[in-house]
Amino acid sequence: MGKDKKDKKKIEKKEEPAAEPEPEPEPEPEPEPACGNPAVPTNGVASVAIAAVPGSALGAKSRTKLGEGACWDAEAQRLLWIDIVKGKIFEYDPVEKTNTSIDTRQPIGTVVPGPTDGTLVAALIKGAMLVDRATGGILKSLGNPESELPEMRWNDGKADPQGRLWVGSMNTQGEGAEGALWVLDTNGAWRKAVPDVAISNGLVWSKDCSTFWWIDSPTGKCFAFDFDAEFGTICNRRVAIEHFVGGEALNGYPDGCTIDAEDHIWIAGWEGNGVYRYNPADGKLVAKYACPGAAQVTSCAFGGPANDQLFITTASCGLSDEQLLEQPNAGALFVLDLSAEGITGGAHPQNYGGSEA
């Protein structure tokens, strides 16, 4: 028995103390919610627009007040854009990186290439006009269906693939739904396409010319219509895109727009700091592209030699001195290089083709 006790003591001395259990790893902290609108995808899109024609110093007269109306002239390989308030038409050459201007000396709503060399068609305070591209002089009046409504002005417009001019009107104070969307046919006749419009804005056509999309900004909606290319008529209005999020303008107000080769619609966000790419087939937001230093984004158009550059206009009007310091590129023209993403613009011509012009 004494021997057993001795052996037990020997065995007890050889036993190793039990290892303490490894502490369980602390759970990873949950990531903080991202700033901004959660509906905007964050799927690795890193492209940001760069100011091609920057904003200017605080108080400088050269700063664009209400840059708008981006329209690519494929024949001239120039971007047409305007300052609504100052009545200026700009031509930007993306190869030479020059920006020239002509002064119409009156507020302007939109501009498109004209039917002949050296001409433009612009919606001015007294109606649609054929304009000399070199001087800004008025060559001919193309009429004004709202000539007896002095409280109205022209806003965004585009030529359809068949050469008709579509242009919207709005109250100069932005009040009520007093405006309309009008069509100037190639024979020189005007007709009303959509009545009771608040602020008529972006408009585009599908590549097969079967669908027309159009924006009434205060509604937050982009509407789709069936389009008859032969007669230039629209019907079957329905909502294609809800730009507002939960009824609120978290992405700003939808302003001008353009369309790419995949029939995705790019909407400029007024107070939305960039452009938003949507698939109108399901209304889903695909991506947002930022315009640094400019919140009031107004219009956009594809262009460039390969049609893979997105030109974006912005505004500085209505901003305080403090806001202008915070937004040094307010009023700038931006360019977004989409060549690496393989995105190109639609191929429809954007000229007014009126025989009477």
Residues annotated as part of the active site:
255
H helix intervals, the chain: 2-14, 321-326
Beta bridge pairs of residue 90: 81, 101
**CA neighbor of 328 nearest in space, from 290, 294, 289:** 294
**Nearest partner of 215 among 175, 285, 153, 268, judged by Cα:** 268
Q: 47-76: string of b/e by CB count within 10 Å (b at 16+)?
A: eebebbbebbeeeeeebbbbbbbbbbbeee
> Hey, which residues does 181 pair with through a beta bridge?
168, 194
Cβ 104 vs Cβ 136: under 8 Å: yes
The tally of CA atoms less than 13 A away on the side-chain side of residue 165 is: 39
The encoded tokens of residue 337 equal: 């290089």
- In the numeric block, which tokens belong to residue 242? 């809800």
Q: Mapped to the 3 state alphabet, what secondary structure does 197-241 carry?
A: ECEEEEEEECCCCCEEEEEEHHHCEEEEEEEECCCCEEEEEEEEE
Identify any residues that bridge with 101 across adjacent strands, giving them in sequence order.
Answer: 90
Q: How many CA atoms lie within 13 A of 223 on its CB side?
A: 19
